[in-house]
Amino acid sequence: MSRAPAPTLNLNGYTDLPPGKIAAVVTFLEMKARPRLRRLAPEPGRSLQRITDPARFKTLFRAIGQDWMWFSRLHLPDDALQAVIGHRLVESYALVQDGRDVGLLELDFRPKGECELSFLGLIPEGVGRGSGRFLMNEAIRRAFRNPIRRLFVHTCSLDHPDALSFYLRSGFTAYKRSIEVADDPRLKGFLPRDAAPRVPVIEGVETIRTRRSPARPRSGLAGKV
Ligand SMILES: CC(C)(COP(=O)(O)OP(=O)(O)OC[C@H]1O[C@@H](n2cnc3c(N)ncnc32)[C@H](O)[C@@H]1OP(=O)(O)O)[C@@H](O)C(=O)NCCC(=O)NCCS
């Protein structure tokens, strides 16, 4: 018996998301050999420190990522986060400027023969002052001092609008694009309600119905439930 061909996934046009979800376009990038590092004038008072304390990590992660809807590490219990950032194949660094944590860099060597640049970011006041280039140069230098086949990273459309061009300028090549759907972290309580205000919170159907519940539902459909 011949099998019917698998239906082709057709994503052209709009795809509505269920209430409470957000979506982003993710671009995956890689570099297979160490490029020449871009020049950067030295800046006194800037250093990298290994970070293994979950509380310090979360504070920095929140300060950097709140505007960009970073939440993946915030809902991890401290012992689970400790297991990642303290792993012998994971290198998490705080960028310290004049005694203050202003940036984060994480290299994950757990994929065999490869390295993922899992986090690179600066607090809002640190952006556009050369610290991003400093972090990237350190990332490339530290990654390729190990015998890896490739360094890879992904960035999404919720990240800083210059992040993708920054990665391309740094020597990465884009090789794949995905759509990522997630629960809105502000509705789940992982981020404050006013985080990333350029992406408005859209109330779920349940919330709207609860708010309207004293009044008569306006449509027949709403009234059925
Ligand atoms: C992506 C990100 C790290 C880029 O950092 P940035 O601070 O904008 O980048 P920089 O200012 O260091 O670098 C930009 C360029 O300006 C130059 N520059 C800017 N100010 C400078 C200064 N004061 N001194 C020296 N160079 C400077 C850099 O050398 C660099 O030049 P190059 O790209 O030609 O080498 C930053 O936008 C960020 O952290 N965003 C928020 C988090 C995020 O979205 N991260 C990416 C997630 S995947």
3-state secondary structure of 34: coil
Q: What domains sit in the chain, N to C, each tagged with a CATH number?
A: 21-35+44-208 (3.40.630.30)
Q: Which residues does ligand 1 sit against, CB inside 6 Å?
A: 38, 40-41, 64, 68, 120-122, 127-133, 155, 159-160, 162-163, 166, 169
Structure tokens at 118: 């899992």
Separation of alpha carbons 122 and 136, rounded Å: 11
Q: Could you report the per-residue pLDDT of 88-124, keeping only the tens digit for each?
A: 999 999 999 999 999 999 999 999 999 999 999 999 9
Separation of alpha carbons 140 and 193, rounded Å: 36
pLDDT value, residue 143: 98
Q: Which residue, chain included where needed, has tokens 């960009």?
A: 68
Per-residue pLDDT, averaged over 133-137, amounts to: 97
For residue 6, give the DSSP letter. Answer: P
Per-residue pLDDT, averaged over 22-28, amounts to: 98
Atom of ligand 1 nearest to the CA of 135: 3
Q: Where are the alpha helices (DSSP H) in 66-216?
A: 78-85, 131-144, 163-169, 185-188, 205-212
Between 155 and 44, name the one with better pLDDT.
155
3-state secondary structure of 159: coil
> Is the pLDDT assigned to residue 213 strictly greater than 50?
no
C-alpha of residue 129 to centroid of ligand 1, in Å: 6
The set of long-range contacts for 106-110, using a CB threshold of 8 Å and a minimum separation of 24, is: 107/139, 107/142, 107/143, 109/146, 109/148
C-alpha of residue 3 to centroid of ligand 1, in Å: 53
Atom of ligand 1 nearest to the CA of 160: 44
Q: By CB neighbour count within 10 A (0-12 exposed, 13-18 middle, 19+ buried), where does 23 fall?
A: middle
CA distances from 52 to 26, 81, 106, 128, 189 (A): 28, 9, 11, 27, 25
Q: pTM for the complete prediction?
A: 0.88
Q: Smallest Cα–Cα separation from 92: which of 119, 58, 122?
A: 119
Task: List the residue whose alpha carbon is closest to atom 23 of ligand 1.
Answer: 129
Per-residue pLDDT, averaged over 20-32, amounts to: 97
Strands across the sheet with 21-31, in order?
Answer: 46-50, 90-97, 100-108, 114-122, 150-156, 21-31, 173-183
The whole-angstrom distance between residue 152's C-alpha and the CA centroid of its chain comes to 14
Atom of ligand 1 nearest to the CA of 163: 1
Atom of ligand 1 nearest to the CA of 127: 7
pLDDT value, residue 214: 37
Task: List the residue whose alpha carbon is closest to atom 2 of ligand 1.
Answer: 132
Q: What is the length of the chain?
A: 225
**Which residue type is seen at 15?**
T
What residues contact residue 140 under an 8 Å CB cut-off, 6+ apart? 31, 34, 35, 37, 151, 170, 171
